[in-house]
């Protein structure tokens, strides 16, 4: 890392400016609706807490103490350990710590913190249990998206391609279709996200920068929403897809290049078949290849991803036919009553809840000119930011983005490793405090 990220540095001023702007957006996104009486339709009940999709409900539970202990230890020692330990130990520790962090936060609400999403009729698991004929389901999938259909899909199935529900169908088929079992699988998958991101950085030649980023990736406020939404699975799939792409670009042999490119394409193609917004992962993917200075992986990965999409089409579900139908359902529903004048910037407030308010400082620093490892962190973070901006401008992401934009949060969080050394410990403290406050004061619906 360059000296710009250590000690007192010229990065302190843009970091402070970015932090202030982020905090203003965050506070305004919460304060403007109740102060003005503006109904932004975040939830139907009067206790709603826009810009988040949830409501105010203070809770203390069995997960509170372990979450507090991990937060204190992490803020005090995580960066030191990450810089000192072997790389393999850092990866293992990132998974274990992320798993504990996810479970502790979820268990603040008791066992229901792991199961309530799985028992929600609007989510995937209940429907997944009723699917006995996958080919038939795929053939009728598009027809059942509109609200007018007498047997229309529940909200989340209608709003996503079938790859999302097929994950839960697979869990049911292997005997993990109970609410607690499925929730624990989602958490176990989500805990691998920091390791996948670190593997990507390592393949791009980073060492110190990756180690500094590790605590921010593990102790992210996003953990509140990763445990246990299906978007956690999409996020992990995306992270490992980009890691495979970086492995391909850095492979010393043709065999490795081809093999990892195919793996990357299959994973990223599955992401496209899980969420309509995830073609935007193309921007971070291009950033990975540009940083690796190798484009040989691109046609191979693209072909593998296309094979996934065409494979679904051959079985009856065409992404390009489904998307316009989804758009019609989206605008026939709650999207029409959610004012763009609020959500165009309220979305950013929701992002700052799940990514943490320190993100404003990280993005401001990332926008400066960098070299070496700092340049890699900056480019990946800004590529993720571009994806988020594109999603915001599309107006297909009005509200609920604290969950929907989770696949971009790990890459945005890399910008936090660019902050001056004096910022990082208290900045990590701000991040974990945000996670604890959100988990203990808000009832989140994911």
Backbone angle region of 59, left / alpha / beta, with phi > 0 → left and psi within -120 to 50 → alpha: beta
Quote the CA–CA distance of 406 and 402 in Å, as a whole number.
7
Predicted confidence at residue 92, as pLDDT, reads 98
Q: Predicted confidence band at 1 (pLDDT cuts at 50, 70, 90)?
A: low
pTM of the predicted model, to two decimals?
0.96
Choice between 42 and 330, residue whose per-residue pLDDT is larger: 330
Q: How far, in Å, CA of 434 to CA of 302, rounded?
A: 38
For residue 431, is the peptide bond before it cis, meaning its omega torsion is within 30 degrees of 0?
A: no
Mean pLDDT of the region 106-128 = 96
pLDDT at 47: 58
Domain that holds residue 213: 3-444
Res 383: pLDDT: 98
Cα distances (angstroms) measured from residue 278 to each of 156, 182, 199, 391: 15, 23, 21, 10
Which pLDDT belongs to residue 280?
98
User: Average pLDDT in the 272-281 region?
Assistant: 98
pLDDT at 42 over 90: no
Tokens 């992490």: give the residue: 74
165-194: average pLDDT: 98
307-341 residue pLDDT tens? 999 999 999 999 999 999 999 999 988 888 999 99
State the total domains in the chain: 1
Q: What's the whole-number mean pLDDT along residues 342-349?
A: 97
When pLDDT is averaged across residues 378-402 and rounded to a whole number, the result is 96
State pLDDT tens for residues 297-310: 999 999 999 999 99
Q: 45 pLDDT band (50/70/90 cuts)?
A: very low
- The residue ranking higher by pLDDT, 293 or 333, is 293
Given a cut of 50, whether residue 404 has pLDDT beyond it is: yes
* SS3 assignment, position 55: strand
The pLDDT tens digits of the residues spanning 88-104 come to 999 999 999 999 999 99
Instruction: Compute the average pLDDT of residues 392-397.
Output: 93
128, 250 Cβ separation under 8 angstroms: no
What is the rounded average pLDDT of the residues 126-139? 97
| pLDDT (average), residues 350-371 | 97
Given a cut of 60, whether residue 163 has pLDDT beyond it is yes
Cα angle at 33 between 364 and 159, to 5 degrees? Answer: 75
- Distance CA(10)–CA(165), nearest Å, equals 48
Q: Which two tokens stand for residue 270?
A: 């599955």
Task: With a cut of 50, say whether residue 255 has pLDDT above it.
Answer: yes
pLDDT digits (tens, 9 = 90+) for 201-215: 999 999 999 999 999
For the chain, the residue count is 446
- How far is it, in rounded angstroms, from Cα 246 to Cα 200? 6
pLDDT of 389 higher than 90? yes
Spatial distance between the Cα atoms of 113 and 384, rounded to a whole number of angstroms: 29
pLDDT-above-90 percentage for the chain = 93
Residue 382's pLDDT band (cuts 50, 70, 90): very high
């Amino acid at each position: 890392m360059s000296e710009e990220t250590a000690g007192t540095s010229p990065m302190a001023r843009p970091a402070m400016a970015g932090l202030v702007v982020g905090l203003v957006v965050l506070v305004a996104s919460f304060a403007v609706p109740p102060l003005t009486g503006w109904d932004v339709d975040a939830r139907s009940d009067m206790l709603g807490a826009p810009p988040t999709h949830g409501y105010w409900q203070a809770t203390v539970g069995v997960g509170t103490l372990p979450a507090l202990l991990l937060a204190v230890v992490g803020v005090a020692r995580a960066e030191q350990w990450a810089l000192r330990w072997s790389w393999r130990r850092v990866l293992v520790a990132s998974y274990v710590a992320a798993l504990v962090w996810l479970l502790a936060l979820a268990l603040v609400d008791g066992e229901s913190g792991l199961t309530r999403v799985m028992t929600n009729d609007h989510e995937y698991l209940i429907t997944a249990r009723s699917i006995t004929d996958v080919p038939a389901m795929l053939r009728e999938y598009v027809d059942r998206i509109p609200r007018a259909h007498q047997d229309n899909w529940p909200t989340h199935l209608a709003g996503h391609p079938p790859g999302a529900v097929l994950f839960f169908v697979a869990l049911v088929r292997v005997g993990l279709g109970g609410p607690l079992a499925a929730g624990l699988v989602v958490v176990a998958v989500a805990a691998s996200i920091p390791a996948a991101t670190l593997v990507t950085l390592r393949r791009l030649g980073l060492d110190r920068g990756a180690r500094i980023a590790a605590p921010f990736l593990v102790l992210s406020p996003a953990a509140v929403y990763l445990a246990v939404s299906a978007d956690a699975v999409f996020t992990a799939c995306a992270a490992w897809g980009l890691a495979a792409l970086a492995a391909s670009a850095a492979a010393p042999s043709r065999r490795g290049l081809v093999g990892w490119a195919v793996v990357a394409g299959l994973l990223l193609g599955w992401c496209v078949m899980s969420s309509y917004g995830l073609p935007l992962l193309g921007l971070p993917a291009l950033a990975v290849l540009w940083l690796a200075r190798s484009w040989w992986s691109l046609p191979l990965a693209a072909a593998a991803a296309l094979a996934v999409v065409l494979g679904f089409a051959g079985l009856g579900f065409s992404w390009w036919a489904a998307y316009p139908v989804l758009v019609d359902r989206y605008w026939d529903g709650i999207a029409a009553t959610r004012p763009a004048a609020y959500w165009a910037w309220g979305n950013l407030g929701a992002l700052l809840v799940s990514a943490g308010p320190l993100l404003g400082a990280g993005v401001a620093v990332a926008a400066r000119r960098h070299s070496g490892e700092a340049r890699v962190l900056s480019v990946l973070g800004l590529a993720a930011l571009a994806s988020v901006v594109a999603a915001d401008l599309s107006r297909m992401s009005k509200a609920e983005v604290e969950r929907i934009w989770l696949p971009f949060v790990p890459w945005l969080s890399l910008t936090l490793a660019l902050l001056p050394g004096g910022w990082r410990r208290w900045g990590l403290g701000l991040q974990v405090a945000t996670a604890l406050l959100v988990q203990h004061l808000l009832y989140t619906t994911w």
